[in-house]
Structure 1
Amino acid sequence: MGVAPITSNLVQTGPGRIRYAPLATAIPTFTPTASKFAPTWTNWLDVGSTDAGVTYTESTETADIRVAESKYPVRVVTTSKSSRVAFVANEISDLIWKLAMNGGTTTVTGTAGTKMTEYAPPLADAEVRVMLAFQSNLDDEIIVWPQVFNVGSVEYVRGTFETKAGLSMEWNAEIPSSGYTTPYKRFTTGALSLAT
């Protein structure tokens, strides 16, 4: 039996860029040129560098419908679904801190060498949702999550001299009240587009 042919341009590697924006920010128009995306991300901000890029996980919980006359389920039903986006941000600016904490308030005083930012986290039920997007390093894949909420435990690691600090985040995708009717949309071009 021969080895199955390998379509090397479908083997994806490398990180990408993670962006975020307030809810209801305009999502760019994605028009590929020469099998690349080059959208203008107006009012979106870069998360910056991460520990290990981004991990997207989609989970489906199911239940078996059984009858006494069969050892196998007669039907499997979906009981819940979740879409999660996780990463550890390494560039710990005030904006990234606020992003990880689901909002809060910042007060800036002073200028230049006397500038100081004071941050107060949001209380329970005062948190805010944001939008997230990922664009691959080859500019041939974009995923947009129009509404996410950080549900993970935020860990701020400050260790030994060679240990870089990081803010861990795990976002649960929600279906927004308007716009998208799904928790995310994925856009591809080039070899990835309608690949079989």
Structure 2
Amino acid sequence: MATAPLQPGQIKTGPGVIRWAPLGTPFPTVSVVNSKLVMTWGALWLPVGGTDAGLTYSESTDTEEIRVAESPYPIRVEITGKAGSVNFEMNQISDVNWKLAMNGGTITVTGSAGTKLSEYIPPLMGQETNVMLGFQSRDDEEGLLWPQVFNTGSVETARADTATKAGLPAEFAVQLPDPAVLTTPYKRWTAGSLAQYAPAA
């Protein structure tokens, strides 16, 4: 009887750390120590904190079948488009998370400590900004970086009964960045049980 070559370490559960940074922020430095990723993100990479259900990355491919009358199967499949999105709902309604969800804007701070006041002004249409997103799994075996994204989702935040968390949902469309930055829409790093590929000798 055939049995599947199970690799329990490659079956992942649980969230990780989601970070964002202004467009053009340097990528994290990445190395591996004892089969774990060591990712140094830098001060401009801000963690979004708690979420409703962690992060979901989706990628889709649009295709068109090329057919001829003489074949019941398509003779070729042409790719007509690709799309990627990063979705999560932030539960920490800070001023910087609000700015992230709204695609930019201006935060002005006055005072300090007990008198600190943050005033937020949203961007007008056409003044919105792209950002960068990053993710690091809690077991330090996977890292993802999207160098250019834009929130295309509707933002709805409710203040309801005392047992209902408020949230800031976001659906970031993944874009191709400036080729001088990266020529692909994202990067992924793996270590430990996820680093399975062995190049040919």
TM-score, normalization by structure 1: 0.94
2:140 and 2:173 map into 1 onto residues whose CA distance is 24
One-letter amino acid matched to 2:190: T
RMSD: 1.5
Aligned-partner Cα distance in 2 for 1:79–1:195: 29
Question: Is the alpha carbon distance of 1:111 and 1:33 closer, same or farther for their aligned partners in structure 2, counting shifts above 3 Å?
Answer: closer
Cα deviation code 1:43-70 (max 9, x no counterpart): 2110101001000000111111122222
Deviation at 1:113, TM superposition (A): 4.1
Partner in structure 1 of residue 91 of structure 2: 90
Aligned-pair CA distance for 1:39: 2.0
Q: Distance in 2 between matches of 1:86 and 1:114?
A: 35
Q: Which amino acid aligns with 1:38?
A: V
Specify every segment of 5 or more residues in structure 2 that has no aligned partner in the other structure, as ranges: none
Q: Tell me the secondary structure at the aligned position of residue 176 of structure 1.
A: coil
Write the letter of the residue equivalent to 1:184.
Y
3-state DSSP of counterpart to 2:128: coil
Equivalence for 1:120? 121
Shift of 1:2: 4.6
Aligned residue in 2 for 1:22: 22
1:182 is matched with 184
CA contact (8 A) 2:29 2:41 kept: no
Give the 5 Å matches for 1:165-180. Answer: 165-177=166-178, 178-180=180-182
Matches within 5 A, 1:39-50: 39-42=39-42, 43-50=44-51
Q: Quote the residue 1:107 is aligned against.
A: 108
Measure how far apart 1:3 and its partner are: 3.7
Distance 2:115 2:5 in 1: 62
Q: Residues 60 and 82 of structure 2 are in contact (CA less than 8 Å); yes or no, is this contact kept in structure 1?
A: yes
What is the deviation of 1:21?
0.7
- SS in structure 2 of the partner of residue 37 of structure 1: strand
Match of 1:9 in 2: 9
- Rounded to whole Å, the distance in 2 between the matches of 1:38 and 1:91 is 26
Does 18-27 or 114-123 show the bigger shift? 114-123
SS of the equivalent of 2:31 reads: coil
Higher mean C-alpha deviation, range 66-75 or range 172-181: 66-75
Q: Give the fraction of aligned pairs with identical amino acids, expressed as a percent.
A: 56
Q: Corresponding residue for 1:192? A: 194
For 1:143, the equivalent position in structure 2 comes to: 144
Give the deviation of 1:158 after TM superposition.
Answer: 1.9
Counterpart-to-counterpart distance in 1, 2:151 and 2:50 = 18
